[in-house]
Amino acid sequence: MKAHLLTIGDELLIGQTTNTNAAWLGDALSRIGVHVERSVTIGDDARAITDELDRAYQDARLVITTGGLGPTHDDVTKSIVSQYFGAPLETDDELLARVKQYYERRGRDMPPEVADLATVPRGFDMLQNDVGTAVGLWHADTSTGDERLIAVLPGVPPEMKSIYENGVEPRLLARADLQDLAHRTLLTTGVPESSLQRKIGDLSDWLGEDLKLAYLPSTNGVRLRLTAYARDRAVAEDRIDALEGELRSRIGKYIFGTGKDTLEGVVGELLRKRNLTVATAESATGGLIGHRLTAEPGSSDYFLGGIVAYANSVKTGVLGVEPSALRDHGAVSLPVAEQMAAGAAERLDASIGISTSGIAGPGGGSDEKPVGTVCIGFAKRVEGGATDVDSVRLQLTNDRSLNKELFATSALEMIRRKLLW
């Protein structure tokens, strides 16, 4: 079943309110086998809403709207839907009584315009709102010959979610015309989207209408979303399993997890299983690596602590970086990053030290070391008191906030690869 989502409200268009409803509904519908083909945000404008309803029903059987169900003059969705389906608005006495009780329980007089909340288009089912006063609406229209389904929901997210879960989803699940759908997400890092696509190569023999692959880049890496459609859930899952196996055979070393895994969680579990500990020495990331590691429950098993060595005097005085290394190579250099990592491991008595020294921007860059340059150091203490060190230099973006996230992700990925490869 194909669906279109119409999220309605001037406040969404001008950025006063973040539109979380579309993302939430898209996820909820896809999990039950509804294919969301289009999602559009429009203002509180009668003509725009009518035009989008026409467009939606050219391609989809199900339309879900959110927003515009309140009692104020700009809440026009219900009246437009009423006109669109030729279903006059009628006052529901039981609903009006519930609205009045809502105000009485709060010791307030009900404003006259609030009575509009108790009007329902003729022939529409009311969907109970357990959170607020505006009910949702459901209608299956067959006047044109082809069945058209519509759910009209409030824009307030808690109300929308409650009505969808208790009223819309049960009606959809009761239908026999839903395809079964399976989703799976593979999480990759350490390789840009374009490079990842090249490494995966041609999948034309695999992908089609019933099996799809999407690339979803973020600061933590690229998520690969696998989607399979079938009449039988087991068949959809089998298709997903086969595609995942093929992807792992091609790019397995870049895949660090699935679903809701996090890179810091995966790194932490590797450290725990190997009975290893880690300490951080951070300059460019300002403690972000430590923050991400300690966001995981139980991180005290492996994270000992960190040193934010922003100034060169801290690099030399606390971490033991040689002044000659700073003088000869500069703070953003592989030798300094290696000495920072080794110093963190030694000073905090950790198995592993990880460090960052970079130019986050927007200033401070040069032709030799432009903004976005980061050097990551890795040190692992071994028997006999020696330390194995390694380092890598990366060139990332011109955005300071984004660079800090990417620097931290790259450092965590370096730990993962050192422990696995």
- 54-77 in b/e form (b: 16+ CB < 10 A) is eebbeebbbbbbbbbbbbeeebbb
Residue 143 has a pLDDT of 82
Cis omega (within 30 of 0) for bond into 362: yes
Residue 146 has a pLDDT of 85
Provide the domain count of the chain.
Answer: 3
Can you tell me the distance from the alpha carbon of 373 to that of 285, in angstroms, rounded to the nearest whole number? Answer: 12
Match 């370096």 to its residue by tokens: 414
List the domain range (segments joined by +) for residue 224.
180-258
Predicted confidence (pLDDT) per residue in 343-378, tens digit: 999 999 999 999 999 999 999 999 999 999 999 999
Q: What is the CATH number of the domain that holds 358?
A: 3.90.950.20
Point out the domain boundary residue: 258, 279, 302.
258
- Average pLDDT of the chain is 93
Q: Are 273 and 378 within one domain?
A: yes
Half-sphere exposure of 189 (CA within 13 A, CB side): 27
For residue 338, which phi and psi values (nearest 5 degrees)? -65, -45
Residue 70 has a pLDDT of 78
Rounded average pLDDT over 64-78: 86
Point out the domain boundary residue: 227, 258, 289.
258
Rounded average pLDDT over 214-218: 92
Point out the domain boundary residue: 218, 240, 258.
258
Distances (CA, A) of 12 to 55, 134, 162: 21, 19, 21
Residue 109 has a pLDDT of 76
Residue 405 has a pLDDT of 96
Residue 379 has a pLDDT of 98
Rounded to two decimals, the pTM is: 0.73
Is pLDDT above 80 for 113?
A: no
Is pLDDT above 90 for 262?
A: yes
Residue 20 has a pLDDT of 94
Q: Residue 188 — very low, low, confident or very high, per pLDDT cuts 50/70/90?
A: very high
Distance of CA 348 to the CA centre of its chain: 35
Distances (CA, A) of 203 to 211, 225, 316, 419: 11, 14, 52, 31
Predicted confidence (pLDDT) per residue in 122-154, tens digit: 999 999 998 888 899 999 998 878 899 999 999
Q: How many CB atoms lie within 10 A of CB 363?
A: 8
